């Protein structure tokens, strides 16, 4: 009955819109894959940028065609409008209107102009045609994560500082969203769940090996939340008890050997890195350079702060980014940006966790929670599927219809022949 009501209220998608959805996600995947492959020094940079522009044109044009300007929740509509308005102000306060600058900002998925496009995904119709294509895109990026691991295997096994960012790019842009498949495990086939689990475990392993502390926290958090969500919903009590005991024993064993970790070949590097404090000096420079007005409204999209002698081959004494996520938001848009962002995300988190009847809504809330936790050790707000999922999760959590749907109906809707 629920399924029939939902489908009568949401018209069946036309072939043109279905094609537009394919173009949207296809363009985004192309843009992302080209951005990541550019980190390979042997790949032609101009070719990569050309491919990125092709992907950009595809997903922007399809997104404009699919956009629906109706947001039913009044609270969300108010703060979403404020967020868009403030984003325009942030862009206007710092953008340089010349070819080289605009081009660089369009192909920079980490700190460029395209980041401000991400919230616009909330304007796309969030029906089950959209969600099915989303999960397909996640799986495709997961497969390319495994392929890129083969391509970059030498860099991944090299622990020198010159190759430290490789696992960051591969995981943030390609692999980490497989965690959303694990969180919504009950809607997917065993093959897709195994793919997602393999990607997340491999990402965690390389993050530990490469001593990426923030990335390790993100991957482990998603895996732990996935496990507890499965524990909460599973009826296989015996198996759950067995794995819980196994997990407990493993935790006790880990705790007993934590003091000898530096003698372990695999984890010795992260043990040494754990003793290093590479973040505090940068943050202290940031704090000392920021004035009262800067804290309030930021310094615009190209905002910089005085930070000498931090990066190798540093051209100037000023940096236009900071690795601490919430400070990056403040650098560009000030506390105003951060407060608006939190006023949108925190109620969504609450609604998804405590006022929902399905795994999809709870998974969306958990994804928002992980993104908020990650604002200190990492920069979540980049143009990645990870960040797009934050805004998609916002839409899910604010939708009463989606929150009230039983899991059985969601699974049927995602596997319906009309959606293939």
Q: In three state form, how does the secondary structure of the chain look?
A: CHHHHHHHHCCCCCHHHHHHHHHHHHHHHHHHHHHHHCCCCCCCHHHHHHHHHHHHHHHHHHHHHHCCCCCCCHHHHHHHHHHHHHHHHHHHCCCCCCHHHHHHHHHCCCCCHHHHHHHHHHHCCCCHHHHHHHHHHHHHHHHHHHHHHHHCHHHHHCCCHHHCHHHHHHHHHHHCCHHHHHHCHHHCCHHHHHHHHHHHHHHHHHHHHCCCHHHHHHHHHHHHHHHHHHHHHCCCHHHHHHHHHHHHHHHHHHHHHHHHHHHCCCCHHHHHHHHCCCCHHHHHHHHHHCCHHHHHHCCCCCCCEECCCCCCCCCCCEECCCCCHHHHHHHHHHHHHHHHHHHHHHHHHHHHHHCCCCHHHHHHHHHHHHHHHCCCCCCCCCCCHHHHHHHHHHHHHHCHHHHHCCHHHHHHHHHCHHHC
pLDDT at 137 over 90: yes
Rounded Cα distance, 15 and 33, in Å: 27
pLDDT at 263 over 90: no
**Out of 22-26, 30-34, 213-217, least confident range:** 213-217
Look up the pTM and report it.
0.88
pLDDT at 265 over 80: no
- Looking at residue 417, what is its pLDDT? 45
Residues 6+ apart with CB under 8 A from 395: 122, 126
**Out of 33-42, 96-105, 182-191, 276-285, least confident range:** 276-285
User: pLDDT band for position 420 (50/70/90)?
Assistant: very low
For residues 40-66, average pLDDT: 89
pLDDT at 261 over 50: no
Give 245 or 413, the one with higher predicted confidence. 413
Rounded Cα distance, 181 and 408, in Å: 16
User: pLDDT band for position 244 (50/70/90)?
Assistant: low
**Out of 155-164, 303-312, 369-378, least confident range:** 155-164
- Looking at residue 246, what is its pLDDT? 54
Residue count (the chain): 420
- What is the average pLDDT score of the chain? 84
For residues 112-133, average pLDDT: 91
**Out of 71-75, 259-263, 292-296, 353-357, least confident range:** 259-263
- Looking at residue 189, what is its pLDDT? 92
């Amino acid at each position: 009955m629920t399924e029939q009501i939902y489908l009568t209220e949401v018209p069946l998608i036309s072939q043109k819109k279905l094609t537009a959805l394919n173009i949207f996600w296809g363009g985004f995947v192309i843009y992302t894959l080209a951005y990541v492959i550019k980190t390979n020094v042997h790949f032609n940079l101009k070719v990569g940028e050309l491919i990125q522009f092709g992907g950009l044109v595809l997903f922007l044009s399809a997104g404009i065609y699919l956009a629906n300007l109706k947001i039913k929740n009044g609270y969300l509509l108010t703060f979403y409008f404020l967020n868009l308005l403030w984003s325009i102000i942030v862009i206007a306060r710092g953008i340089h209107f010349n070819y080289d600058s605009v081009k660089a900002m369009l192909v920079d998925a980490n700190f460029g102009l395209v980041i401000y496009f991400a919230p616009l995904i909330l304007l796309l119709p969030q029906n089950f045609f959209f969600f099915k294509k989303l999960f397909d895109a996640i799986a495709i990026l997961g497969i390319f994560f495994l392929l890129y691991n083969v391509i970059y295997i030498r860099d991944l096994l090299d622990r020198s500082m010159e190759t430290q960012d490789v696992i960051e790019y591969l995981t943030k842009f390609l692999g980490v969203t497989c965690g959303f498949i694990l969180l919504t495990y009950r809607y997917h086939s065993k093959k897709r769940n195994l793919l997602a689990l393999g990607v997340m475990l491999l990402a965690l392993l390389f993050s530990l090996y490469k001593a990426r502390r923030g990335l390790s926290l993100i991957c482990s958090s998603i895996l732990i939340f996935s496990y507890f969500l499965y524990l909460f919903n599973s009826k296989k009590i015996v198996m759950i008890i067995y794995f819980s005991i196994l997990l407990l024993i493993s935790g006790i064993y880990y705790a007993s050997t934590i003091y000898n970790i530096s003698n372990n070949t695999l984890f010795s590097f992260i043990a040494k890195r754990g003793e290093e404090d590479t973040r505090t000096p940068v943050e202290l420079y940031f704090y000392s350079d920021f004035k009262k007005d800067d804290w309030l409204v930021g310094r615009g999209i190209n905002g910089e702060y005085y930070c000498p002698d931090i990066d190798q081959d540093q051209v100037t004494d000023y940096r236009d980014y900071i690795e601490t996520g919430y400070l990056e938001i403040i650098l560009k848009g000030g506390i105003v940006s951060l407060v608006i962002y939190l006023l949108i995300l925190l109620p969504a988190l609450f609604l998804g966790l405590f006022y929902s009847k399905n795994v999809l809504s709870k998974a969306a809330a958990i994804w928002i929670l992980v993104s908020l936790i990650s604002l200190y050790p990492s920069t979540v707000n980049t143009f990645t599927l990870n960040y797009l999922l934050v805004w998609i999760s916002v839409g899910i959590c604010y939708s009463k219809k989606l929150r009230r749907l039983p899991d059985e109906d969601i699974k049927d809707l995602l596997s319906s022949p009309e959606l293939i």
